[in-house]
Structure 1
Amino acid sequence: MSEAIRLGVNIDHVATLRNARGGVHPDPLTVAKAAVAAGADGITIHLREDRRHIRDDDAERIRAWNGAPVNLEMAATEEMAEIACRLKPHAVCIVPERRAEVTTEGGLDVVGHRATLAPIIARLNAAGIRVSLFIDPDPAQVRASAEIGAAVVELHTGAYANGKPGELEHLAAAARLTEEVGLECHAGHGLTYANVGPIAALPQVRELNIGHYLIGEALLTGLPASVREMRRLMLAARNK
């Protein structure tokens, strides 16, 4: 049997729905618990600088719950590094962030931002936090990630999900390179029931982080059913 593959469920858009009306419902922590009960291996939250969905209180409560590993997505800023070092999640995934974007639009430019990223990664490592970098499947970005102290890279699957020709091959090559340079390989963005199989089948990929699609499917079938179906498809592809 192939190496295990984990499913991290991103619950940002539970907070988006709550914030559309205000109040406290639906509660991201309650949904996090339901996702883990249905088989999620971890919970991902993105604490954006403008707090457009997940808020500080959500992050505090989800981390205090301690019912599953928490992957905190964040920009490479001093404010976010301070919050991460205080919360001490299982992992931090550093992502590019622009105020105008609807969602993360591409991978982090590790090559071009070494000077900014290196001290933040060192600070997080010193706090005992596992650091991941969200990057496009580019060999230079993979190598740079290893060189500046990251333990993990999460390959951006958005172009693949949008049907860009040749992108699966780029992802497969980048995944192989992660193994060569000593990085753990994760992947995510835009993954659905229809397209998750080829990514889950890549033997180097150890974790997929999926959010928006699962929350959307939950409106039709319920969150436990959507999580279980995604896990089923992942494992079927991995063990084919």
Structure 2
Amino acid sequence: MRALSVNLDHIATLRQARGTAYPSLTTAAGICEIAGADGITLHLREDRRHIQDRDLELISEVSLLPVTLEMAPTEEMLRIALKQRPRTVTLVPEHRLEITTEGGIDAIRSASTLKPVVDALKSEGIRACLFLEPERDQIEQARALGADSVELHTGRYAELFDERRHGEELNRIELAVTYGVSLGLQMNAGHGLHYQNIRPLAAIKGLQEFSIGHGIVSRSVFVGLERAIREMADLVRAQAPD
């Protein structure tokens, strides 16, 4: 069955805007459980602009859903991951001036950095995922590095969808998914996904998990978090091919 992992970063962004203790991420994690989400995603950035170390600690302790930690492949982040032991770690590129993650990590150029991190995670039973562009050589390198899964960066697809020019990019993603599955990798997708553009993407055979945050949190302003999650989970599962 298709899985939805809800990214809670933007709830933390709202909290950090005023430096308050609310909105509570542990409350949000509980709502994810009752609303039918399959997992929770947190991106602990080096600059701590939204998710804080304590958020990861608390949600790791109380959540009944598996946690995915997005992080840069640094020594500091690896230490945190090995201590908190999320189900999955997704390794992403990180730049201080970016508003959000701008693209996939280059698994070929960064192989010497990624390999020891992937090995350390897997030695402790943590699944290693690479956040990549939908490119054949990047996916092949992910397998060579020992990754368990790949999350395809769907940012370009999302941008082109708004302009109704997404057909070619959708096809590129589909080819990447097919190739990754043929290599034995779990293929996931995330970035820029919302209630309209998820439909054609979720219809691609072989995609297993979707990481979605901003779209869900934005809709929750109008309909509430529980309903927003249920609606997205229904869309993800309804589009699944036979």
After TM superposition, the score normalised by the length of structure 2 is 0.96
2:188 and 2:210 in contact (8 A); partners too: yes
SS in 1 for 2:189: strand
The reply on whether 1:112 has 2:109 as its aligned counterpart is yes
CA distance in 1, matches of 2:233, 2:174: 21
- In percent, how many aligned pairs have the same letter? 45
- One of 187, 190, 193 as aligned partner of 1:188: 190
**Aligned position for 1:121:** 118
CA distance in 2, matches of 1:185, 1:92: 14
Q: Give 1:231's aligned amino acid.
A: A
The reply on whether 1:62 has 2:59 as its aligned counterpart is yes
Q: Give 2:213's aligned amino acid.
A: G
The reply on whether 1:81 has 2:78 as its aligned counterpart is yes
Q: Deviations over 1:27-84 (max 9, x none)?
A: 1111011012101000000000000000000010000114110000000000000000
2:129 and 2:150 in contact (8 A); partners too: yes
**Aligned position for 2:238:** 236
Q: Give 1:172's aligned amino acid.
A: E
The reply on whether 1:21 has 2:18 as its aligned counterpart is yes
The reply on whether 1:177 has 2:174 as its aligned counterpart is no
Q: What 5-or-longer segments of structure 1 have no aligned partner? A: none
**Aligned position for 1:153:** 150
CA distance in 2, matches of 1:228, 1:101: 30
Query: Over aligned residue pairs, what C-alpha RMSD do you find?
Result: 1.0
SS in 1 for 2:239: helix
TM-aligned CA deviation for residue 239 of structure 1: 4.7
The reply on whether 1:94 has 2:96 as its aligned counterpart is no
SS in 1 for 2:20: coil
SS in 2 for 1:154: strand
CA distance in 2, matches of 1:57, 1:85: 15
After TM superposition, the score normalised by the length of structure 1 is 0.97
Q: Give 1:136's aligned amino acid.
A: E
Q: What 5-or-longer segments of structure 2 have no aligned partner? A: none
CA distance in 2, matches of 1:130, 1:18: 29
Q: Give 1:47's aligned amino acid.
A: L
Relative to structure 2, which stretch is displaced further, 159-168 or 96-105?
Answer: 159-168
CA distance in 1, matches of 2:137, 2:194: 28
Q: Give 2:55's aligned amino acid.
A: D
2:32 and 2:229 in contact (8 A); partners too: yes
TM-aligned CA deviation for residue 150 of structure 1: 0.3
TM-aligned CA deviation for residue 202 of structure 1: 1.1
